[in-house]
Amino acid sequence: MSLGAAILPGGADNGQQSTFGVMGGGQLGRMFVQAAQAMGYFTVVLDPDVISPAGLVSHYHIKTDYLDQQGLAQLMQRCAAITTEFENVPAAALLTLGAARPVAPSAQSVAIAQDRAREKAHFVRCGVPCAPYAVIGSATELADVADDLLPGILKTARLGYDGKGQIRVDDRAALAAAWDELKNVPCVLERLLPLKAECSVLVARGWDGVMVNLPLQLNLHRAGILAVTSVYEGNLPQTLAEDAVAATRRLAEEMQYVGVLCVEFFVLQDDSLIVNEMAPRPHNSGHYSIDACDLSQFELQVRTLAGLPLVQPRQHSPAIMLNLLGDLWVDNFSPPWDRVLALPGTHLHLYGKLKASKGRKMGHLTVTGVSVSEVRATALAAAQILGIEAF
């Protein structure tokens, strides 16, 4: 179901006409809810976790499974339009919702991002270069893998994230062992390429096809999890940034995508650009936009869902974002936030998660300033206080 007239905020009777639903109760849902509420909308979260970060701050929390028919019916009854905060919400649930309410992104777009094989085919169809790959769904396809795809990375076709469901393989024996370790589920094998850097682009596309984008984001991962995002002029060559933005826009346009879309890229040693994967939602690498841009990725998500005008975001400050994982609490029990916040230009965002564990995303710290050198120095000082590696 498509959107008719724009959904305006500020309904005085707390009615359906100014209420947005979000499938998923994690930190991305929480920040969407906060952005929507700041603009005057009411919110409903559907998530089975009774203490989900988004559920704790939303006006309503429907505590059911994503495929629960009563829960979906209640969400449709309460909301004028619905979005999702992560790509592993069942596409079937979004299809059900989309028959009665505007849903952005669509079930079709989410289904592509949920399956690496379909995602790779989408990249190829759009003419956006990706690493050479093979889809492996059977023992026969495993045996038929071309020699030039090794060494490579074997990834499950579905449900892999933050480095999970991925195994490096150097030869055929390792490939066979890895496929067994991943329980012989459908996988994608990608050739291992010489990487120089990782980056991402966020675009927002409206129901009317208007599209805007945030600046190119330079990313550093550790153990498969985003650790640092740096966003400032000159973080990567201008021509490369333009190519990444153009490719991201092309991928969104071909799907007739509505919402916020993040596309991650690899920069190879020869400075060529290849696409890695896409996420049909706001992204960890775009969190800096809350503090460094006049429009955050979450306000863009609200605007796309509501059918409000999209204007090109402007970054007013160079920024570096440090991801805050549960290791900080496990190792230190109580991180010294007073010392961190004594540094100029620091912005702390904690996600309201009540239990910390190693590798779990608990929050992020964004550092802004008047110059790149100032921001880098402050980010390094904050990282030293917290006992984490910055660069």
> Per residue in 109-138, pLDDT tens?
999 999 999 999 999 999 999 999 999 999
Tell me if 344 is assigned to some domain: yes
CA distances 385 to 162, 336, 373, Å, are 25, 8, 19
CA 140 to centroid of chain Cα atoms: 34
The yes-or-no verdict on residue 193 having pLDDT over 90 is yes
Mean pLDDT for the stretch of residues 74-95: 92
pLDDT at 158: 86
pLDDT band at 15 (very low <50, low <70, confident <90, very high): low
Mean pLDDT for the stretch of residues 376-386: 97
pLDDT at 160: 63
The DSSP annotation for 184-198 comes to T--EEEEE---EEEE
How many structural domains does the chain have? 3
Task: State the residue range of the domain holding 336.
Answer: 195-386
Tokens of 120: 């790779």
CA 179 to centroid of chain Cα atoms: 27
Q: Same domain for 299 and 338?
A: yes
Tell me if 127 is assigned to some domain: no
pTM, two decimal places? 0.94
The region of weakest confidence among 53-62, 328-337, 374-383 is 328-337
Mean pLDDT for the stretch of residues 176-189: 91
pLDDT at 238: 94
The count of other CB atoms within 10 Å of the CB of residue 333 is 8
Distance, CA of 287 to CA of 126 (rounded, Å): 27
Mean pLDDT for all residues in the chain:
93
Cα pseudo-dihedral 23, 28, 30, 34, rounded to 10? -110
The region of weakest confidence among 8-17, 83-92, 354-363 is 8-17
CATH code for the domain in which residue 152 is found: 3.30.1490.20
Of the three residues 161, 191, 221, the one that is the final residue of a domain is 191
pLDDT at 312: 97
CA distances 111 to 42, 133, 184, 245, Å, are 28, 20, 21, 23
Tell me if 334 is assigned to some domain: yes
Q: Same domain for 320 and 257?
A: yes
DSSP 8-class letter at 271: S
> Per residue in 128-177, pLDDT tens?
999 999 999 999 999 999 999 999 999 998 876 655 778 999 999 999 99
CATH code for the domain in which residue 362 is found: 3.30.470.20
User: How does strand 81-84 pair with strand 19-23?
Assistant: parallel
Q: Same domain for 142 and 263?
A: no
Distance, CA of 158 to CA of 47 (rounded, Å): 20
> Per residue in 318-333, pLDDT tens?
999 999 999 999 876 7
Q: What angle do CA 283, 181, 222 make, to 5 degrees?
A: 35
Tell me if 362 is assigned to some domain: yes
Tell me if 9 is assigned to some domain: no
The region of weakest confidence among 78-92, 202-216, 247-261 is 78-92
What is the sign of the dihedral through the CA atoms of 288, 291, 295 and 301?
positive
Q: Using alpha carbons only, how large is the chain's radius of gyration in Å?
A: 21
Q: Same domain for 99 and 159?
A: no
The DSSP annotation for 202-255 comes to EEEE-TTS-EEEPPPEEEEEETTEEEEEEESTTSS-HHHHHHHHHHHHHHHHHT
Tell me if 261 is assigned to some domain: yes
Q: Same domain for 186 and 289?
A: no
Tokens of 94: 């979004």
DSSP 8-class letter at 16: G
pLDDT at 200: 98
